[in-house]
Amino acid sequence: MPSQLSYSDLASLMKRCAGLTVDPELMRTRPDSTFEEYGLDSLGLLAIVGELENQYGTPVEPGAESSKTPGDFLDVVNTSLTTGA
């Protein structure tokens, strides 16, 4: 299991869980852009959180599903993965 989820990992999850093709480099260079700009809604984000929880066998910190930007989401998820929250 990786210790940190990357923008590339997030882009793959967005493709798999929500059917959205997003350039991970664009998210990396614009971490404060909103998920709305990429076409990801709250249900898509919830699906990503569920996928991560299933994949890593640990709950993701509450609030991840309401993150507004990729940067915020990765901060919450990576904290959860690091601490096992």
Does 37 map to a domain?
yes
Q: For residue 34, what are the contacts with CB-CB under 8 A and spacing of at least 6?
A: 68, 69
The CATH number given to whatever domain includes residue 11 is 1.10.1200.10
pTM score: 0.90
Cα–Cα distance, 46 to 42 (Å, whole number): 6
Q: What is the pLDDT of residue 2?
A: 55
- 80 vs 75: which has the higher pLDDT: 75
Contact of 52 with 5, CB cutoff 8 Å: yes
Range of the domain at 62: 7-83
Q: Taking residues 71-75, what's their average pLDDT?
A: 95
**What's the pLDDT tens digit per position in 23-65?**
999 999 999 999 999 999 999 999 999 999 998 888 888 889 9
Q: What is the pLDDT of residue 4?
A: 86
Give the closest residue to 67 by CA, choosing from 42, 50, 47, 37.
42
Does 59 map to a domain?
yes
| Domains contained in the chain, number | 1
Does 12 map to a domain?
yes
Does 1 map to a domain?
no
